Amino acid sequence: MPRRLSVLREVHCMLRGRFIGLTCAAAAVFAWSTMATAQAPAELAYDVEVKVAYNGEDVFWQLSWPTETPSLLHDVSVFRDGQWVRVNSGGVIGSEDRFTIMVDQGTVAGFANLGCYATCHAPVRSLDTAVGGDALADHPAYGQIGRNDIRKYIPDSRIGNMWWETAWDAVKPPEMLEDLREQGVFLDLWHWRAARSGSMGFADDQYVLEHRINDSGSGPNVSNVADGVPLRMFDPEKVGFAALRYDDIPNLTTADVYNLTTENSIEFDPDHEWQEGDVIPRLMIREPTGARAAIRSDGQWSDGRWTLELQRAMDPGNPLVDIPFELGRTYNVAFGIFRDFTGTRYHHISYPLKLGIGTPGAQLTAIGFLGDRPDWDEIEATTIPVFYPAQVTMDWLLSDEHVVGWEMREDTASCAACHGATLEDVRWLSEQSIEATGE
């Protein structure tokens, strides 16, 4: 398999007994419980079909990827032995399916070559090297403001002599972080969740700086639990049942009712004749407000495949949290996909990609059209391979353990240039990543 390596690098690689490089990709995301038996996925790599369009007012994405069984629930209460028990991992209930897009306007250090690995560092939660608990308790950027774990962050948010020095506890003070936002130094995060936002027709709008942070406004969900008991239940008169059934969950599709809303629910009745295996979501889905409501979505699963449409104003008018798209400009983007009932680091990622808004020659080109909605049949899809990255981090990629670490510190090396960008290439890369990180 050609890996586009110089002879010197190949020899160096063999002498050290290591493989070269890993991916420069979108180890993006964010934060959700994994299955109790979480492990490397059986399918290490697959293709995503991507289309992008704009009409001068809005930008539109159509994204399609294979998923044998959709995960449409995220956090539920199950009636067992006469009590409501929280279940958010394992069995037929795990993390919801999700799709993330990280957008950089050319300001975030390392992102053009590293992709979202620029956000993935050794202390991040769910990695074997994660930092949490007491270590965070007294830190002003973590425990003191209620953060109990470390999530993705960009190198620019840390104090260091060199751009790649990204110690988790060297967070810049608030006034410096605010200056970065004013300069546009952050990643805009489009975060579609099948359960917690998608079922209401939205993707959550967030950004990444010193942490993964929500845009202003109310979010697309709210708790449906108090003292361990549901607050609301499905309205039998409207939907035909008071609760979902645990055994039916694997058969749910986007054509079914599966999430609670104000319109399809009533106040919880503790005297209802609850049955073993009844299921009620622990979250109520609602329409978000403010900047968090900027991204509309329509996600449909059918015949083993998700098709997701996203729509947002080209300029939402929130420059401190959203990156506007301008005609003629090129942006760096990277994808993260969560499926198979897993979350946190158990996901698939893409290399960083160039997105041109009406600009030919980029890996992805947004096509201009007239009207309110694009005719997707008239737009050719770009096939993007994604793969499982294991526990490879920016720290390792830029270290001397990595044979081209010094080039990555110079920000002159990209993973795609070394390893190739075909589906076969990235599948091999995933296999080597697993071997290197001991999974």
Q: Model confidence over 378-406: pLDDT tens digits?
A: 999 999 999 999 999 999 999 999 989 99
**What mean pLDDT comes out for the span 71-84?**
94
CB neighbourhood size of 179 (10 A): 12
pLDDT tens digits for 280-336? 999 999 999 999 999 999 999 999 999 999 999 999 999 999 999 999 999 999 999
pLDDT tens digits for 7-42? 334 433 333 333 333 333 322 222 222 323 357 888
**What mean pLDDT comes out for the span 181-186?**
98
What is the token pair recorded at 81? Answer: 């032995």
Q: What is the mean pLDDT of the chain?
A: 89
**What mean pLDDT comes out for the span 413-424?**
91
Provide the pLDDT for residue 301.
Answer: 96
Q: In Å, what is the CA distance from 30 to each residue of 68, 214, 266?
A: 23, 11, 32
Report the distance separating Cα 198 and Cα 306, nearest Å: 12
More confident residue, 360 or 37: 360
Provide the pLDDT for residue 344.
Answer: 79
Q: Which helix (H) or strand (E) holds 344?
A: none
What is the token pair recorded at 432? Answer: 């080597």
Provide the pLDDT for residue 84.
Answer: 97
> What residue type is assigned to position 233 of the chain?
M
* 131-141 exposure pattern, b = at least 16 Cβ within 10 A, e = fewer: bbeeebeebeb
Cα 100–chain centre separation: 4
Provide the pLDDT for residue 89.
Answer: 63
Place of tokens 């001068």: 56
What is the token pair recorded at 220? Answer: 């697309």
Provide the pLDDT for residue 167.
Answer: 95
Classify strands 364-368 and 45-54 as parallel, antiparallel or unpaired: parallel
Provide the pLDDT for residue 42.
Answer: 87
Provide the pLDDT for residue 343.
Answer: 72
Q: What is the pTM of this model?
A: 0.89
What is the token pair recorded at 225? Answer: 């639990």
Q: Which of 103-117, 118-132, 178-192, 304-318 bottoms out in mean pLDDT, i.e. has the lowest? A: 118-132
pLDDT over 80 (residue 6): no
* 56-91 exposure pattern, b = at least 16 Cβ within 10 A, e = fewer: eebbbbbbbbebebbbbbbbbbbbeeeebeebbbee
Q: What is the CA radius of gyration of the chain?
A: 22
